[in-house]
């Protein structure tokens, strides 16, 4: 139990990621100089310290891998196209998600919606961790329930939710709401029951649900990454703890678990080695646990630049000039240049007015602040190597108060072999649509953590005409692994909306790779439900589920598979079930 007595969810506390190796709680407290520590798994903890002690925030002061990154949202004919309705028509399969938990880490859920209730009106949600709720009545002395070992928010169990649903005003008892609708929509697609509308059913209508309602990113991180004031952003630390909560919930109820993540970020090397990606990869050791991630909606948004410079092997050469258009009213923008170690690159700049900043020399573990004579723009440059488990090189470039227009980033090879490097802008929603690369590249745009190895990563297609969604992120990963794994419907998909009128539950439509991921999450739950109630396939790992879906995927004879757009094909659950016979 933690002895933390602070309100760590408040704006006056900063949080960081720390990778440890078999350290005891006492050793960690002494090392990190705080008792406010949350355990994610055997390798990671999140620790909290007063904000005034953490500032100023910088890579040299705290290291890149310790800083929380910010994630954005990756926004029933679709069920037929996915081969899901066909499985419902086969009574022998008995596959409808029963006995399986689908977990969502998102904007919350409208728990009153009939889609998430049993025929008798009771809830199908086994646990809801609302990170935005106040402490929930627990004493801040650390006397928290053993099964809820987190330092903020409140858990509502199925008993709490059923008690609320029996009241005239459920929100008076459980005041957790989804004000955005994203989480409710994904839960409806993956696991919505048939109670509300005769023309709608989710992919796994008899599954149970686990929900994490993420708290918004803290202001100090929003300021550091300079994202728009109205942007919806969520912290990697809260997502990591959400994964831990869902695994604890599944152990508590002894159920298989499918985690559905409809969020993503361009912060990170796109090689799968991010902290969130590694926490997902650690689930590989658990039988009956799978994870599904959205590939992202970045291909057509011009947020990725692929560069190559020439020079002698192991030496330097000519610079490459990257043209970046920065739009009006962009208060700042954070870019990350990544390359394979041991290559090293340095940068210089030319402003829209023609002012030139010469090559900034390599100086590791320090920040260089560049000021311009003719405008108020400041650029902060940090070079870093040996990033935790990432064998990569990073140049972090933060434009503060940039004047609009075309900026030129000159990339100089210092030590090169392949000469290949990548630069990513933040994902859609965390940056102005008028900020983009003039010579962008649509590939290697699968977002973090979808480029991690273990999750099933899903791209997006239009099930009505069979075309790839224009913005569907494309692979492969920066280190050449095959991602995405599958494509699923995600364009103008029909699902549950939100209403301000009590008792009214309208339907709506949504587009994005998070919707495609929800289809696959429901399909995975249906595979796991083959074990219920008799253990027909008792040892189905997440990797075996992925292989089963790949075997049964539809493949166009005109394409070569795997490929960067469709992975191994489009989701077809019915044929995946047939492949189990082989």
Decide: 168 and 147 in contact? Cβ < 8 Å.
no
List phi, psi (to 5°) of 390.
-90, 115
In the prediction, which pLDDT does 579 show? 81
Dist. CA 259–CA 292, nearest whole Å: 6
Of 445, 47, 87, the residue nearest 264 (C-alpha): 445
**Coil, helix or strand at residue 412:** strand
Decide: 267 and 397 in contact? Cβ < 8 Å.
no
Given CA atoms 32, 36, 40, 46 in this order, what sign does their dihedral have? negative
**Sheet arrangement for strand 320-326:** 356-357, 344-350, 405-415, 320-326, 436-437
Radius of gyration of the chain measured on its C-alpha atoms: 24
Grade residue 199 by pLDDT with cuts at 50, 70 and 90. confident
Dist. CA 1–CA 37, nearest whole Å: 10
Decide: 458 and 293 in contact? Cβ < 8 Å.
yes
Task: Write the DSSP string, 325-343.
Answer: EE-TT--EEEEEEEEETT-
Grade residue 533 by pLDDT with cuts at 50, 70 and 90. low
Strand partners, 383: 364, 395
pLDDT in tens, 294-340: 999 999 999 999 999 877 666 666 899 999 999 998 999 999 999 99
List phi, psi (to 5°) of 170.
-55, -35
Decide: 466 and 489 in contact? Cβ < 8 Å.
no
- To 5 degrees, how large is the angle CA 106–CA 112–CA 118? 105
Count CB-CB contacts under 10 A for residue 491: 23
Measured N-to-C along each axis, helices 542-552 and 513-528 cross at an angle, to the nearest 10 degrees, of 110
pLDDT in tens, 105-145: 999 999 999 999 999 999 999 999 999 997 644 443 344 44
**Coil, helix or strand at residue 525:** helix
Dihedral in degrees, nearest 10, Cα atoms 107, 157, 147, 137: 80
Mean pLDDT, residues 489-517: 87
**Coil, helix or strand at residue 283:** helix
Looking up tokens 């082989």, which residue turns up? 582
CA atoms within 13 A on the CB side of 258: 36
What the block records as the tokens of 140 is 């801040």
Count CB-CB contacts under 10 A for residue 482: 17
In the prediction, which pLDDT does 20 show? 84
Grade residue 14 by pLDDT with cuts at 50, 70 and 90. very high
Dihedral in degrees, nearest 10, Cα atoms 462, 466, 468, 470: -60
pLDDT in tens, 425-468: 999 999 999 999 999 999 999 999 999 999 999 999 999 899 99
What the block records as the tokens of 281 is 């990869």
pLDDT, the chain, mean: 89
Task: Write the DSSP string, 567-579.
Answer: BT-B--HHHHHHH
**Coil, helix or strand at residue 263:** strand
- Asked if the model's pLDDT at residue 79 lies above 80, the reply is no
Distance of CA 474 to the CA centre of its chain: 16
What the block records as the tokens of 440 is 């962008």
Dist. CA 337–CA 437, nearest whole Å: 13
What the block records as the tokens of 470 is 């224009």
């Amino acid at each position: 139990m933690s002895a933390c007595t602070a309100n760590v969810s408040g704006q006056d506390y900063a949080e960081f990621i720390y990778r440890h190796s078999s350290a005891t709680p006492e050793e960690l407290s002494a090392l990190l100089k705080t008792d406010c520590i949350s355990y994610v798994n055997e390798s990671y903890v999140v620790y909290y310290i007063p904000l005034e002690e953490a500032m100023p925030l910088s890579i040299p002061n705290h290291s890149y891998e310790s800083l929380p990154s910010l994630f954005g949202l990756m926004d029933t004919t679709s069920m037929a196209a996915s081969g899901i309705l066909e499985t419902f028509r086969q009574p022998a399969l008995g596959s409808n998600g029963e006995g399986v938990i689908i977990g969502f880490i998102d904007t919350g859920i409208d728990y009153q919606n009939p889609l998430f209730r049993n025929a008798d009106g009771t809830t199908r949600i086994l646990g809801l961790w609302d990170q935005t709720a106040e402490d929930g009545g627990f004493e801040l002395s650390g006397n928290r329930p053993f099964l809820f070992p987190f330092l903020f928010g409140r858990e509502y169990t199925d008993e709490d939710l059923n008690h609320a649903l029996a009241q005239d005003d459920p929100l008076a008892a459980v005041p957790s709401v989804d004000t955005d609708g994203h989480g409710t929509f994904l839960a409806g697609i993956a696991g919505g029951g048939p109670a509300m509308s005769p023309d709608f059913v989710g992919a796994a209508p008899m599954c149970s649900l686990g929900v994490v309602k993420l708290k918004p990113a803290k202001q100090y991180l929003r300021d550091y990454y300079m994202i728009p004031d109205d942007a919806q952003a969520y912290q990697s630390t809260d997502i990591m703890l959400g994964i831990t909560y869902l695994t604890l919930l599944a152990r508590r109820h002894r159920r298989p678990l499918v985690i559905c993540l409809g969020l993503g970020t361009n912060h990170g090397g796109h090689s799968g080695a991010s902290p969130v990606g590694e926490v997902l990869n650690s689930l590989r050791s658990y039988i009956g646990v799978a994870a599904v991630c959205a590939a992202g909606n970045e291909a057509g948004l011009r947020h990725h630049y692929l560069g190559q410079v020439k020079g002698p092997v192991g030496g330097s050469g000519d610079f490459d000039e990257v043209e970046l258009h920065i739009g009006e009213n962009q208060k700042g923008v954070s870019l990350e240049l990544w390359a394979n170690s041991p290559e090293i690159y340095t940068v210089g700049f030319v402003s829209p007015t023609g002012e030139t900043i010469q090559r900034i020399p390599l100086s590791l573990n320090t920040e260089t602040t560049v000021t311009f004579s003719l405008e108020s723009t400041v650029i902060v440059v940090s070079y870093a190597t040996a990033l935790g488990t990432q064998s990569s090189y990073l140049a972090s470039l933060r434009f503060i108060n940039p004047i609009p227009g075309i900026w030129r980033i000159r990339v100089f090879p210092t030590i090169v072999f392949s000469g290949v490097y990548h630069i990513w802008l933040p994902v859609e929603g965390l940056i102005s649509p008028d900020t983009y690369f003039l010579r962008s590249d649509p590939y290697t745009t699968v977002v973090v953590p979808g480029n991690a190895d273990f999750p099933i990563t899903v791209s997006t297609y239009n099930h009505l005409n069979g075309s790839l969604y224009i913005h569907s992120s494309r692979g492969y990963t920066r280190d050449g692994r095959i991602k995405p794994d599958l494509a699923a419907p995600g364009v103008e998909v029909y699902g549950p909306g939100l209403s301000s009128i009590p008792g009214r539950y309208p339907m709506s439509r949504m587009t994005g790779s998070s919707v495609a991921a929800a289809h696959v999450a429901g399909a995975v739950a249906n595979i796991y439900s083959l074990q219920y109630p008799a253990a027909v396939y008792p040892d189905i790992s997440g990797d075996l589920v992925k292989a089963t879906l790949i075997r049964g995927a539809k493949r166009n004879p005109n394409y070569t598979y795997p490929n960067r757009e469709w992975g191994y094909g489009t989701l077809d659950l019915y044929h995946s079930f047939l492949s189990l016979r082989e």
